[in-house]
A and B are shown apart, each in its own frame.
Chain A
Amino acid sequence: MNAGVRFTGVGKRFGEHWVFRDLSLSLPPGGTTAIVGESGCGKTTFLQLVNGVLRPSEGRVEVFGADVPREGIESFRRRIGYAVQGAGLFPHMTVRENVTLLARLERWSREAVDARLEELLDEMGLDAGLSGHYPVQLSGGQQQRVGLCRALMLRPDMLLLDEPFSAVDPITRESLYDQFLHAREHEGVDTLLVTHDMAEAVRLSAHLVILGPGGVHQSGATEDVLAHPTDDYVARLLATRARPS
């Protein structure tokens, strides 16, 4: 499956403030790519340009080999799963309702919905008995898993993860990583992960994009970046990996 995300001379500004300018990069298909950078360097903006929640102020964003569409943006977005820090579950819906909302709107049969739900809960190591629970009745780690299930429900062609592991405690995070790697393997979905956590990026992804002041500092296979940081900024970010966790 070709995620095919290509940015060509992309800039984004809010009012007078440019988040970044002249960003060009092409993400390789397959596997997981991590976009790593300090807070405020535009990681979340980057993701929202991919799914068309934001539009570039200049330049061109191509996904799945074509410009992000203006017509039919909803069906385009449904090809892209989206999970965020803190999970963002709808508090008035049960686990089942949260995960299966899109499938039900797409008029899947009840059997197909239930089968997929069961499969996902199992993949993410969630007890099927939780499906009637409300988010408020779940732990932070459980909520994060449900958020990932929801993002994967429609078997998307691409998964966008906006720091989905950063709001949970370190021990839970470890098991979440395992679960995620397992699920990603099983689902075979190309994944774009943004994080400020270099250790997490290295742990989960085959490809790294180092985003910093002035745009992309380095992009390449994870081992290559680790072995040959191109500048001080990248080296400093790599060093943060050593922190105890």
Chain B
Amino acid sequence: MKRLAPAVCVCVALAAAGEPLVVASKDFNESYILGEIMAQLLESDGFEVERRFGLGGTLICYEALRTGEIDLYAEYTGTLATAILRRPDRSGVDALNEALAQEGLTLLPGFGFNNTYALAVPRTLALARGLETISGLVDHADLRIAVSHEFLEREDGWPGLSSAYGFDRFVDGIEHGLAYQALEEGTIDLTDAYSTDGELVRYDLVVLRDDRGFFPRYLAAPLVRADLPERAKERLRTVAATLDDAAMQALNASVLFDDASFAEAAAGYLEGIGIAGDRSGSELWPQLWRNTLRHLELTVMALVPATVVGIGLGLLVFRVAWLARSVVYATGLLQTIPSIALLAFMIPLFGIGVTPAIVALFLYSLLPIVRNTVTALSTIDPVLQRVSLAMGLTRAQRLRHVFVPLATPSMLAGIRTAAVISIGTATLAAFIGAGGLGDPIVTGLALNDHGLILQGALPAALLAIFTEFALEGLERLLSPRHLRAAGV
């Protein structure tokens, strides 16, 4: 274990460095771009910024902001009203801010676009039919409409829309991913979309104006901690109302279809409004190195205590059969909790970031270590157990000189299994903002970018293989000499 100490020190030092503003994003395209815009905006004003992008969903972001793990991210008014404050009727910025103030949060003026449900039709069709508004659809009953299954069911989807606009017609359901292609091939004429989808640009679609104001408004705006430095808030206000739906669509499309990085898209936009951006983003190798170090930190910080606790627990309970069984079952139960769920359970207890990830990985690592320890200790040759007792060894001496040395190979094998499980599971820690090699995987998933996914997956796999070999070597080094003497 001594050998690991320097690695632990390095990791702790990295984690403790500085107090930058922490900018976060959710794990989808637009949220990354908005996060990058806010980050560059602050950086260009001299703030030091830490990016905690790709957090796994609204609740994780919101919870992290509330607990001060992060300082700001881009949120939507509709989401705040329905999902977080549970007051869909109060989605106005002032009403939201009144509620948010109690949590020490502030919603700054919005970016200017409204990413809500929308109905999209090919531009050529819209021009040919003179279609501009949703109410105009009444006069075009022949249009073939297919909407996503969720939209077909949701009260704020087709059913509500139909009654608000007085439609009385049948529509089909369609897989959202296929709808764009169907539009392009002309098999359908209209589908639902989000109003800032990059696909709208790519497939040359136009959005029909919601002239009766049916769809809730999802205005994007920086959601920040109220105690953010006034200068930072001021800086963020400079981009208020500078991004309309079309501009956001274009930014989304540039990242999705033109291989622009988030940093490039954000910088391009900022330069357009006269602010110096930073296109460099993060370079591959330093980024990879940082991710790998963080990944190791997560694994080591979970594995070392899991080893101590797991072996200690095994030594404590192995003599009492029912207790040993219960402990093995209990640790086994932990293992059956899906990793992403276990990570999510940790958030109310430990917030987001490194700590909850380490705790979750620690719990995951326990089973193989405890089980191997208990099994090895309780299956030691009964004759040796009897002899060690009869010759007058004390309890501690029996453990020290007989039980532990004989159980060592099995305990080491347990640690090895735990290490490999941890390295794999740690990739999911990116969803709760712990970073590591899961970061590029999560981003790659948001962008459907296989190269980016490999940037996380490959090093993680290599790390697992390397660890496997390294610990196997260690195991051979520490295995009882008699096994080597016998050439086993």
Contact = CB atoms under 8 A, between A and B. Distances in A.
A77 B391 contact: yes
Given A84-B383, A135-B482, A137-B486, A53 B394 contact: no
Contacts of B402: 90
Contact of A78 (B386, B392, B406, B481): B392
Interface string A129-148: 00001111100000000000
A136 B481 CA distance: 11
Interface in B367-408: 381, 383-384, 386-394, 397, 401-402, 405-406
A90 B403 CA distance: 10
A235 B236 CA distance: 106
Contacts of B393: 74, 101-102, 105
A48 interface: yes
A91 interface: yes
Given A90-B384, A134-B481, A102 B406 contact: no
A136 B392 contact: no
Interface string A70-104: 00011111101110101010111100000001100
Given A84-B387, A88-B383, A90-B384, A76 B486 contact: no
Contacts of A75: 392
Nearest to A73: B392
Interface in B187-225: none
Given A84-B383, A88-B387, A76 B482 contact: no
Given A76-B392, A78-B391, A92-B405, A136 B482 contact: yes
A195 interface: no
Contact of A102 (B386, B392, B486): B392
Contacts of A51: 390
Nearest to A86: B383
A153 B401 CA distance: 17
A77 B482 contact: no
A188 B485 CA distance: 36
B159 interface: no
Interface residues of B, number: 22
Interface string A141-171: 0000000001100000000100000000000
B396 to A, nearest CB: 10
Interface in B397-422: 397, 401-402, 405-406
A132 B463 CA distance: 40
Contacts of B480: 91-92
B38 to A, nearest CB: 61
A53 B386 contact: yes
Most A CB within 10 A of own CB, among B383, B388, B392, B405:
B392
A135 B480 CA distance: 13
A118 B155 CA distance: 92
Contacts of A134: 481-482, 485-486
A51 B401 CA distance: 21
Given A90-B384, A136-B486, A74 B394 contact: yes
Contacts of B486: 134, 136-137
A48 B480 CA distance: 30
B386 A88 contact: yes
A77 B394 contact: no
Nearest to B386: A53
A80 B391 CA distance: 7
Most buried by A among B389, B391, B405: B391
B390 A91 contact: no
Most buried by B among A76, A77, A92, A102: A92
A84 B391 contact: no
Given A74-B393, A74-B394, A150-B391, A92 B386 contact: no
B401 to A, nearest CB: 7
A81 B386 CA distance: 13
Nearest to B402: A90
A90 B390 CA distance: 14
Contacts of A86: 383
Contacts of A84: 383, 386-387
Contacts of A101: 391, 393, 401
Contact of B391 (A48, A93, A102, A137): A102
A97 to B, nearest CB: 9
B480 to A, nearest CB: 4
B392 A77 contact: yes
Contacts of A90: 384, 388, 401-402, 406
A222 to B, nearest CB: 26
Nearest to B390: A82
Contacts of B384: 88, 90
A136 B397 CA distance: 23
Nearest to B389: A53
B389 to A, nearest CB: 6
Contacts of A93: 482
B9 to A, nearest CB: 34
Nearest to B406: A92
A34 B394 CA distance: 29
Interface string A40-58: 0000000010010100000
A167 to B, nearest CB: 11
Contacts of A78: 391-392
A207 to B, nearest CB: 22
A98 to B, nearest CB: 10
A168 to B, nearest CB: 16
A101 B391 CA distance: 10
18 contacts: A75-B392, A77-B390, A78-B392, A80-B392, A81-B391, A90-B384, A90-B388, A90-B402, A91-B406, A92-B481, A101-B393, A102-B391, A134-B482, A134-B486, A135-B482, A136-B482, A137-B486, A160-B390
Given A82-B390, A102-B392, 10 more contacts: A75-B392, A78-B391, A81-B391, A88-B386, A88-B387, A91-B406, A92-B406, A93-B482, A151-B391, A160-B390
Interface of A: 48, 51, 53, 73-78, 80-82, 84, 86, 88, 90-93, 101-102, 105, 133-137, 150-151, 160
Query: Ordered nearest first, which 7 A-B pairs have the shortest CB separation?
Result: A77-B392, A134-B482, A78-B392, A92-B480, A88-B387, A82-B390, A136-B486
